Amino acid sequence: MWISSRRAQFSGEVKANPSGTLANMRASEPFYMRRKPAPLILFATLALVLATALWWGSPWWRARQLMRQSVPIQTSLEAYRQQRARYPVSLSEIGIVEREEGPIYYRRESESAYILWFGTTLGESETYHSTDRHWR
């Protein structure tokens, strides 16, 4: 059976399937003669890669990532305030190493308020105010 179906593929014969209709012509062609959907697959793959690169490389994506990274800092600052009734002068008081290159910066405005911020693009930044608990 297998040999006869292979002979039919290479000889160009079209065999009838058990229901009596002609078999699918594409299925009966050898694999090297079948039409390949390569241009469509290639286009879709390139579009997906490009969209992903633009999404993750965008300033919006980076800003959302840094906002998420600041949540543990906010939590530590609030816990510190609950214990001592004031915010720390610097993040080193709560065990966080502050680096000059950031990416997240802290400044105590008063004993009851602070701000966190990070740069988004040249000359622009996102700022978190503890008084209203929102990023602006």
Instruction: Look at the chain and report how many structural domains it folds into.
Output: 2
Mark whether 127 and 96 lie in a shared domain.
yes
> What does the pLDDT read at residue 18?
53
- Domain residues for 37? 2-56
Tokens at residue 116, please? 């966190």
- The model's confidence at residue 40, banded by pLDDT at 50, 70 and 90, is confident
> What does the pLDDT read at residue 31?
64
> What does the pLDDT read at residue 44?
85
Closest to 131 in 3D by CA, of 118, 120, 115: 115
Q: DSSP for 27-74?
A: HHS-GGGS---HHHHHHHHHHHHHHHHHHHTSHHHHHHHHHHHHHHHH
Mark whether 110 and 123 lie in a shared domain.
yes
Q: What is the pLDDT of residues 59-114, one digit of tens each?
A: 788 899 999 999 999 999 999 999 999 999 999 999 999 899 889 999 999 999 99
Q: What is the pLDDT of residues 17-39, one digit of tens each?
A: 555 444 555 556 666 666 666 77
